[in-house]
Amino acid sequence: DQQVKQNSPSLSVQEGRISILNCDYTNSMFDYFLWYKKYPAEGPTFLISISSIKDKNEDGRFTVFLNKSAKHLSLHIVPSQPGDSAVYFCAASDPGGGATNKLIFGTGTLLAVQP
């Protein structure tokens, strides 16, 4: 029972264009959402996060949008660069984790940015 879903296993985008990565979730009690990037043979690295009390957060080329009514979030990368080619995971903070900071991850989307 996947609580955090990334329905697109892969995405291909031209350099300079916008990349949009999507994520859906089922638990309306999730209070924080995070995006991670992972290169092969490396651990995931944190990109950007958003609290459930906001609907947008921006950091340079990366913007995350949260639509609570649709239980949907998206990561926009503008402009896309070849170095952005990686697997992207979305994650949600599990309220069932109590005071602890337990994250539930999606299955990932492989982004390929074509030069």
Partner 1 sequence: DVKVTQSSRYLVKRTGEKVFLECVQDMDHENMFWYRQDPGLGLRLIYFSYDVKMKEKGDIPEGYSVSREKKERFSLILESASTNQTSMYLCASSLRDRGSPLHFGNGTRLTVT
Distances (CA, A) of 104 to 5, 58, 64, 91, 95: 10, 22, 17, 5, 10
Among 44, 63, 80, 88, binds partner 1 (CB under 8 A): 44
Instruction: Read off the tokens for 30.
Output: 């999730």
Nearer of residues 17 and 102 to partner 1, judged by Cβ? 102
Residues with Cβ within 8 Å of 6's Cβ and at least 6 positions away in sequence, in order, are: 21, 22, 23, 24, 88, 89, 90, 106, 107, 108, 109
Residue ranges in 77-106 that form contacts with partner 1 under rule CB under 8 A? 89, 91, 93, 97, 99-106
CB of 101 to partner 1, least distance (A): 5
Among 75, 85, 108, 113, binds partner 1 (CB under 8 A): 108
CB of 37 to partner 1, least distance (A): 11
Among 27, 49, 57, 74, binds partner 1 (CB under 8 A): 49
Which positions lie near partner 1, rule CB under 8 A? 4, 6, 9, 31-32, 34, 36, 41-46, 49, 51, 89, 91, 93, 97, 99-108
